[in-house]
Amino acid sequence: MTTSTTSESSTAAPLLDLQALVVAVRRRRRLWCSLALIGLLLGAAVAVLRPAPPTAVTKVLVAHEADQPNDPGTLIRTDVALLQTTEIAGRALKSLGSAEKPEDFMPDYGGIGLTNNLLQITVTGHSDAEAVARAKALAEAFVADHVRRLQDAADAAAKALLDQRDRLQEELAQVDKAIGDASSQSGPKAAATLNSLYASRTELAARISDFGQRAAEAKVGTPRLVAGTQIVDAPRAVRQSLPKTAATDAAIGLVLGLVLGLAVAAVGAVVADRPVLRREIAANLGASVIAELSGVPRRSAGRWQRRRTRAARTRLTATLARTVRGSTEAVSLLELGCARSTCAIALDLAGALAQEEGPVVVVDGLPGQQLADRRPKPGDPTVVRGERAEAVPPEERRLGVGSVVPGTAWTDLRYLGTRTVLVVRAGHGSAAWLHTVARQLADQRIPVLGVVLIDPDPRDRTDGTLWDGPHTALRGRDGRPARQNRTGRRRTERLPMWTARVPDSDQEAR
């Protein structure tokens, strides 16, 4: 029942574990903090090395014939687009007497609509005086172009109305001529025709008067629009503060670098698939986490931090000693990404076992000469390697130290110990490699007593103990018969089923 329940829960696991992703990103804080710092420095450097060119600004009030209170800004956006035309740029350059091409001048200025009728023009130049002159010429050219377009539109409307009036006047002349011809005739039919002609003349005269009035009104409205289009804010140079600009650019660079760093860290964590939580490492290795320990402190660490680490190592040594004490089989410590910490743990464990069970020989099976070439201190256990390890008497306690990093000779691990404790650095090995380690140890019939997690996440509250039976629980349950200890009594080895947390603080989670 328990196994099926665990299988169902593992099957229903989410595709992306947000908790593991957050922990993985937080553990890579050096990456995104470095990118944020680089962005900050680059932003400040850009502001210093490439300062903003001298800039001038002016504002123009633009009156439109079709102005409406609910206008969404279409007319002013049209004015902004007209500002970025070669015609206006060419007229501004012509008023300045410059031989520069309009296409080259257009990237140096821009416009933005502040309201439906207020246009702000920003121009750059080689100096403040040049920028101000350019802004004035550009504003005047835009105003002149806008006024010309208003007058052209008014003239076109008036001309159309006057042309219509002239056509009606021609028709009126024809009606007057017809009235003259009908006046010389007599009879009822002539009288009816004459009345119809009089009515037509009256209608045509009214229409001619209307078109004339409308043409006059079309020209009357233009001066109001022309007077409403003017420069309301004289061109002036924009004062630029280098510290303010540098601070702004640095802040922008900091944000961009931080976002980029977080994105890279998140993508890298997903792609690399390196477990960092206790429950993930325990599930992938198929063994419970029996203890945790922070990395070996550096020499630059404070005295208080070193004292806390030593206390944690003392508790870890006691936990491991309880796990391997009294076993007639050789026990090994196999590291993955934490050779330095494993060496320190092995020496501490050998010293603790030597006080209770006699001399302990540490067999160095690490790829490098980290233990064999070290300078021994008084009271340290004996460390052997290679041929000297084969000459160790069977009655002496052996403690092997090896590695399960890529390139490991799996068949040699059994010579270090027939039972093992894995010492794994959190986030070092991928999930696939942890599966490989568990499978290879099972193939070599080396039971895993437990996992010591190095440099865990301090905020990790997940459970690293497996509860679903022999299929994925401790590999020490291999059905071996009871063994005899050195006193000749038969004993039954009981595997540890607890998870002793050894954090930097004095707390211990069970």
CA distance 414 to 428: 24
Q: In total, how many domains does the chain have?
A: 3
Q: Which two tokens stand for residue 32?
A: 């995104």
> Quick check: is 295 in a domain?
yes
CA distance 336 to 402: 9
Burial class (CB in 10 A: 0-12, 13-18, 19+), 431: middle
> Quick check: is 5 in a domain?
no
Phi, psi values for residue 132, rounded to 5°: -65, -45
CATH code for the domain of 302: 3.40.50
Co-location of 296 and 218 in the same domain:
no
Residue type present at position 76: I
Co-location of 422 and 283 in the same domain:
yes
Q: How many other β-carbons are positioned within 10 Å of the β-carbon of residue 454?
A: 24
Co-location of 169 and 82 in the same domain:
yes
Q: Which two tokens stand for residue 274?
A: 């390196």
Co-location of 280 and 377 in the same domain:
yes
> Quick check: is 261 in a domain?
yes
Co-location of 320 and 288 in the same domain:
yes
CA distance 158 to 162: 6
Q: Which two tokens stand for residue 381?
A: 């256990």
All residues at 6 or more sequence positions from 117 whose CB lies less than 8 Å from its CB, including other chains: 61, 62, 63, 64, 67, 76
Co-location of 177 and 281 in the same domain:
no
> Quick check: is 509 in a domain?
no
Co-location of 212 and 335 in the same domain:
no
Instruction: Report, in angstroms and rounded to the nearest whole number, the Rg of the chain calculated over CA atoms.
Output: 46
Residue type present at position 29: R
Co-location of 222 and 250 in the same domain:
no
CA distance 425 to 375: 25
Residue range(s) defining the domain that contains residue 284: 276-491
Question: Residue 108 carries which DSSP code?
Answer: G
Co-location of 261 and 146 in the same domain:
no
Co-location of 213 and 248 in the same domain:
no
> Quick check: is 145 in a domain?
yes
CA distance 354 to 361: 9
Q: Which two tokens stand for residue 275?
A: 């477990």
> Quick check: is 321 in a domain?
yes
Co-location of 36 and 158 in the same domain:
no
Burial class (CB in 10 A: 0-12, 13-18, 19+), 462: middle
> Quick check: is 409 in a domain?
yes
- SS3 for 149-166 is HHHHHHHHHHHHHHHHHH
pLDDT tens across the length of the chain (510 residues): 344 444 444 445 566 778 888 888 888 888 999 999 999 999 999 988 888 889 999 999 998 877 777 778 888 999 999 999 999 999 999 999 989 999 999 999 999 999 989 999 999 998 999 999 999 999 999 999 998 888 887 777 778 878 888 888 888 888 777 777 777 666 677 777 777 877 888 888 888 888 777 777 666 657 777 888 899 999 999 888 888 889 999 999 999 999 999 999 989 888 888 888 888 899 889 888 888 887 655 544 455 556 777 787 888 888 888 877 766 788 889 999 888 888 888 888 888 888 877 788 888 888 876 666 666 666 677 788 766 666 677 677 888 899 999 888 888 888 888 889 999 998 888 889 999 999 999 999 999 988 999 988 888 888 877 765 444 434 444 444 444 444 443 333 333 333 444 444 333 333
Co-location of 286 and 409 in the same domain:
yes
